[in-house]
Structure 1
Amino acid sequence: MSADEPLFRVVRGVPTAEELAALVGVIAARSRPVAPAAPAPASLWARSARPTGAALAAGRGAWRAAGLPR
């Protein structure tokens, strides 16, 4: 494709300037690469179930410490 060739052409009908502008906008939006979506943050409910800080250690009193807030 040479530099003077159009990127697209209308083969049927007579579009208005507004219709051509809308078509160009859609083509431009669809041709851009889409960035991967960021993962959704965990809800407060889900975060409350996850241990924070150091991993839980086994040993004396570990069962009690596992249920206490840190």
Structure 2
Amino acid sequence: MSGSEPSPSVEPTSGSPASVEPGPLLRVVTGDPSPEELAALVAVVAAAGSGGAPDSPAPRSEWSARHRLVRGPHRHGPGAWRASAR
């Protein structure tokens, strides 16, 4: 850039960034939908984006319970091998 060209200045037009209008969320590219069709589309997109209620966790099986992994001490003495299976 040369010194003779003025540099463009960037100034907000209204003073606050909150007053800037966002663009449309949906835009019809082809076709001519009726107002009812547009309303149905907006309802579907809004419902899909809402997320809904969080799912409750599935009940855990007793086979995967942590307390089943903890074993007591091994007993020794006569018949201990039979008692270890109980």
The one of the two structures with greater contact order (alpha-carbon pairs below 8 A, sep at least 6) is 1
- TM bracket (short chain): 0.3 to 0.5
Higher Rg of the two aligned structures: 2
Q: TM-score, normalised by structure 1?
A: 0.47
Q: TM-score, normalised by structure 2?
A: 0.41
